């Protein structure tokens, strides 16, 4: 995952000649094209796990059409693909019932500004001040202060 230097030619080669591939991590490959996704799912019939996290160039239509073609697929990661709507994701879940779909975010977010995801600002961490007892205070008889 994170092999951002993969070329389109490499993905075409995987789709054409790597029929024994069972797990493919192409996450963060932003310029992964729709046609490469089709080449991979058609050319890798044993594919069980596919991580497409951050492949933001993929279209919703290609995802909806290509994912069901991967007959052995068990798990797919689809975080940070802005073109994929919740409606299309629900459709895919219905169409590919044996597949576990992972999606944590539809697009990258700034960890310092989570208002979009939480609906409000994140309160600053509150620190609890510990009150220290007064030093030198003597106890009264019977154990009371």
State the average pLDDT over residues 99-108.
79
pLDDT value of position 122: 54
Where is average pLDDT lowest: 90-94, 95-99, 110-114? Answer: 110-114
pLDDT value of position 24: 93
pTM, two decimal places: 0.70
Per the listing, tokens 């596919």 go with 50
Alpha-helical (H) ranges within the chain are 8-17, 34-43, 60-66, 86-95, 115-118
Query: Within a 10 A sphere around the Cβ of 67, how many other Cβ atoms?
Result: 20
Query: Within a 10 A sphere around the Cβ of 15, how many other Cβ atoms?
Result: 20
27-65 tens-digit pLDDT:
878 888 999 999 999 999 999 999 999 899 999 999 999
pLDDT value of position 11: 82
Give the closest residue to 32 by CA, choosing from 56, 1, 2: 56
């Amino acid at each position: 995952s994170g092999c951002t230097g993969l070329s389109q030619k490499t993905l075409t080669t995987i789709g054409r000649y790597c029929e024994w591939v069972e797990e493919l991590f192409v996450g963060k490959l932003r310029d992964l094209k729709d046609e490469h996704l089709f080449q991979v799912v058609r050319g890798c019939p044993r594919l069980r796990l596919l991580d497409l996290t951050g492949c933001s160039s993929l279209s919703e239509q290609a995802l909806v059409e290509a994912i069901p073609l991967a007959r052995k697929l068990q798990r797919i990661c689809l975080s940070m693909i802005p073109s994929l709507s919740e409606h299309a994701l629900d459709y895919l879940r219905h169409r590919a019932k044996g597949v576990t779909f992972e999606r944590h975010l539809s697009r990258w977010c700034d960890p310092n500004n989570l208002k979009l995801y939480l609906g409000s600002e994140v309160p600053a961490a509150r620190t609890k001040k510990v009150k220290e007892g007064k030093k030198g205070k003597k106890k009264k008889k019977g154990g009371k202060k």
